[in-house]
Amino acid sequence: MRISTFSPIDLLPEPAREFLARRLAELAGLLLLGGIGAVSLALATWSVHDPSWNHAAGGPVRNLAGPPGAVLADLVMQMVGIAIVAILPPIFCWGLTLLSRHRLDHARLRLVLLATGASGATALASSLPATDRWPLPSGLGGIVGDGILALPRRLLGHSEPMLMLVALVCAGVAILSLTAAAGFGLKPPPGEEEDEDVAGAYDWVPVPKTTRRPFEDDADGEPGMGIVSLGAAIHAGLSAKAALTRLVRRGADAGAPWATPVPAGSAPTAGLAGAGVAARDGRVEPSFQATSRPRDERGRREPSFGAGDADTAERVAPRPPAGRPEATSVLSRMAAAAAPSRAAPRQGRDARSGGYDLPAPGILTEPRHGATAIVSEDALSQNARLLESVLEDFGVRGEIINVRPGPVVTLYELEPAPGIKSSRVIGLADDIARSMSAVSARVAVVQGRNVIGIELPNQRRETVFLRELVASEDFVESKHKLAIALGKTIGGESVIVDLARMPHLLVAGTTGSGKSVAINTMILSILYRLKPEQCRLIMIDPKMLELSVYDGIPHLLTPVVTDPKKAVVALKWAVR
């Protein structure tokens, strides 16, 4: 028994159904073309510095499509890389075909061909060597292309002829599949040479028999002139953009002066020592000279960068900050590099460093401790007795043996009576906070002692000032190599730690949690203890927000580095 299906559209007359079918086809075509346009705009303005799902950035979004476009472009570039240039044209052809009210036949076959062609295009792109300017860790074909080529590379090893053969096969698969997916070479299904709903839309147009509708798939497999012209225009536009980008980069590289990193504020020194040393293997890293250089009275050897070629020297040399005029031109620096005497600029810098005086704590903000911030012993004793009574109400017997007031919280040390479990007291944290009219309470066992610590917040928080930390006896008489002041403990004692014992320090936290204040406190702690001849700093600030205020201090080995590539070179030099 055959069951007939009923649709509300069947109630419409035949002309209305035809009109609705044409409008839906046009709407689908417009949606495809609009989506392709938005994706193209997002990809054209894609920047690796924009935030995405796996990359956080605090700067403004450079993508013209906004944050959604930045996320979409980064996801597409990570997945398929530059192969997206070959994947978008077939989808664009689908939109044009639907917009011209022509039925998109072989839809499933087109999707399969598009997936096959995309796989071949990504594999072909991944087989191409990636340049130094490619910012992503994956190949040019993205994660998909690298995954497809993983098996052939494992089976064939590093055989270049075989890998070239695989690349040619991928190219053939991509060209044939994507061309067929666009509609070239696909014949209409038998009996559907012309869709009836669509054919009626052109009855009023006097079209000669020899003319074809725009972007229509030919039955004999030949593409229409509209598709060919569109593809040629897209290819010409992308080629022109790539050529213009190369010219701009070459001009920037050619116009960049060659310089070596010098201490901030000092006169520019000769920057092409050992210009005959060539960069090996195309690696972007400084070349160091083995010849001896003049030493100062302390016997300390100054760093020296050797320039192999213009590109290497441009990347190695830190860019001078804006607004600082250069004392010599490129030609004068090259002439100075060949001069035998190079000790005069260094002597001037050492003389300036020798006359450096440590900053006085008086230039910092003076602590403002009001009368309300000082808690008397009577008030502390009264709070201790009140806390004992609160604990006794909950069946916890004990005695507060010590009270340690701090800038933010006060620690009460409870010695519980015999038989009182620590877990019982810890479980009363919320009840203690409620009974003491406090925002919160923290209860924990003090390690190594028979006491339980109960921390309650003060009614008024005390601000910790850097001046009282750097002027404290703990900081002044500290024996640490790189003593830094971090703040105060719960008991109010200064926290002075040695940065030399934590070389890989990560400062993390949410917005407004005090990361910038912590970094500035660490830097100022070093500047308040060590002179330029005792400590040299390399500051890296790609965002150009936090560390730009330190540009020009005599402790800097180079101006503040803002270019990520130059930062890599500086770090490589520092660990040698």
511 annotated to bind ligand: yes
pLDDT of 259 reads: 42
Same domain, 484 and 434: no
Same domain, 142 and 42: yes
Residue finishing a domain among 148, 182, 216: 182
Same domain, 501 and 453: no
478 annotated to bind ligand: no
pLDDT of 240 reads: 66
CA angle at residue 117 from 114 to 123, to 5 degrees?
Answer: 140
Same domain, 529 and 381: no
pLDDT of 377 reads: 83
The answer as to whether 154 is a domain residue is yes
**Containing structural domain, residue 563:** 536-575
211 annotated to bind ligand: no
Q: Which residue in 460, 500, 488, 466 sits closest to 375, CA to CA?
A: 460
Other Cβ atoms less than 10 A from the Cβ of 70: the count is 24
Decide if 180 contacts 91 (C-beta within 8 A). Answer: no
509 annotated to bind ligand: yes
pLDDT of 43 reads: 87
Instruction: Find the Cα–Cα–Cα–Cα dihedral 230, 235, 241, 242, rounded to 10°.
Output: 170
Residue finishing a domain among 182, 213, 248: 182
Same domain, 554 and 499: no
Same domain, 423 and 557: no
Other Cβ atoms less than 10 A from the Cβ of 109: the count is 12
Decide if 269 contacts 346 (C-beta within 8 A). Answer: yes
The answer as to whether 124 is a domain residue is yes
Q: Which residue in 530, 436, 430 sits closest to 480, CA to CA?
A: 530
Alpha-carbon span 63 to 73, nearest angstrom: 9
Same domain, 450 and 542: no
The answer as to whether 270 is a domain residue is no
Pairing of strands 452-457, 442-445: antiparallel
The answer as to whether 480 is a domain residue is yes
Q: Which residue in 373, 440, 393, 385 sits closest to 412, CA to CA?
A: 385
Instruction: Work out the burial of residue 282: count CB atoms within 10 Å of its CB; fewer than 13 is exposed, 13-18 middle, 19 or more buried.
Output: exposed
The answer as to whether 314 is a domain residue is no
The answer as to whether 296 is a domain residue is no
Same domain, 106 and 69: yes
Indicate the number of domains in the chain. Answer: 4
Alpha-carbon span 225 to 211, nearest angstrom: 11
Instruction: Work out the burial of residue 390: count CB atoms within 10 Å of its CB; fewer than 13 is exposed, 13-18 middle, 19 or more buried.
Output: middle
Same domain, 34 and 131: yes
The 8-class DSSP code of residue 490 comes to T
513 annotated to bind ligand: yes
354 annotated to bind ligand: no
The answer as to whether 492 is a domain residue is yes
Task: Give how far the C-alpha of residue 76 lies from the chain's centroid of Cα atoms, to the nearest Å.
Answer: 17
Considering only CA atoms, give the Rg of the chain.
Answer: 36
The mean pLDDT values, 10 residues at a time, for the chain of 576 residues are 56 72 82 89 83 72 83 87 89 84 77 89 85 80 86 78 84 88 71 42 38 42 47 61 68 52 42 37 41 41 39 40 39 38 38 69 79 68 91 91 87 90 91 90 90 89 86 88 87 86 86 88 91 91 86 89 90 86
pTM of the model: 0.37
How does pLDDT run across 428-461, given as a tens digit for each residue?
999 999 999 888 999 999 888 889 999 999 888 8
Same domain, 563 and 516: no
Pairing of strands 452-457, 398-405: unpaired
DSSP string spanning 3-43?
Answer: PPP--GGGGS-HHHHHHHHHHHHHHHHHHHHHHHHHHHHHH
Separate counts of helices (H) and strands (E) for the chain? 18, 6
Check which CATH number belongs to the domain holding 413 and give it: 3.30.980.40
448 annotated to bind ligand: no
Scored b (16 or more CB within 10 A) or e, 430-440 reads eebbebbeeee
Q: Which residue has the tokens 């079918």?
A: 21
Write out the H or E segment, with its range, that includes residue 442.
Answer: strand 442-445
- 424 dihedral zone (left: phi>0; alpha: psi -120 to 50; beta): alpha
Instruction: List the structure tokens of 438.
Output: 């406090």
Instruction: List the structure tokens of 214.
Output: 């725009």
pLDDT of 313 reads: 37
Gap between the terminal Cα atoms of the chain? 85
The answer as to whether 48 is a domain residue is yes
Instruction: List the structure tokens of 546.
Output: 């936090």
Task: Give how far the C-alpha of residue 468 lies from the chain's centroid of Cα atoms, to the nearest Å.
Answer: 37
Give me the phi and psi of 34, to 5 degrees please.
Answer: -65, -40
DSSP string spanning 99-120?
Answer: HTT----SHHHHHHHHHHHHHH
How does pLDDT run across 318-361, given as a tens digit for each residue?
444 444 434 333 334 433 443 433 333 334 344 444 578 888 88
Instruction: List the structure tokens of 514.
Output: 């005090």
Instruction: List the structure tokens of 512.
Output: 């407004």
The 8-class DSSP code of residue 521 comes to H
Residue finishing a domain among 182, 214, 233: 182
State the SS3 of 331-370: HHHHHHHHCCCCHHHHHHHHHHHHCCCCCCHHHCCCCCCC
pLDDT of 6 reads: 53
Alpha-carbon span 324 to 346, nearest angstrom: 20
Decide if 176 contacts 160 (C-beta within 8 A). Answer: no
Task: Give how far the C-alpha of residue 390 lies from the chain's centroid of Cα atoms, to the nearest Å.
Answer: 52
Same domain, 91 and 167: yes
95 annotated to bind ligand: no
Same domain, 522 and 565: no
The 8-class DSSP code of residue 280 comes to S
Alpha-carbon span 139 to 129, nearest angstrom: 8
Cβ contacts of 75 within 8 Å, gap of 6 or more:
52, 53
